[in-house]
Amino acid sequence: MTRRPRRNPSPAFKAKVALPVFRAKWQPPKWRRIFDLHANQITQWKTSMLEHAADVFEAASSSSTPPVDVNRSHAKIGELALENELLGGALTKAGWLSAKG
């Protein structure tokens, strides 16, 4: 009897298997046949999903974006505007850009 290589399923795959079991759409034995998994493994994934369900909402509330430094943003905008103005003038003098009319 040959051993099959060890599989390391992704978290997305685990959720794909555990979610319908959690919703009671299918029972683990049916998933076992479809995905060639042991029923205990599916039950463990379902239990883990239930235990960590609160973490999903906790992570969503704590992942707020850092505050924006408005002064730094205005300085960068001014710098870029100056570069554009100088580049536009140089390109116009070189004949690569038509003069604004």
Digit-coded pLDDT (tens) for 61-73 = 665 667 788 899 9
**Would you call 49 exposed, middle or buried from its count of C-beta atoms within 10 A (0-12, 13-18, 19+)?**
middle
38: CB partners within 8 A, 6+ apart:
32
Indicate the domain borders of the chain. Answer: 9-56
pTM over 0.75: no
Structure confidence at residue 101 as a pLDDT band (50, 70, 90): very low
Most confident of 53-57, 67-71, 73-77, 94-98: 73-77
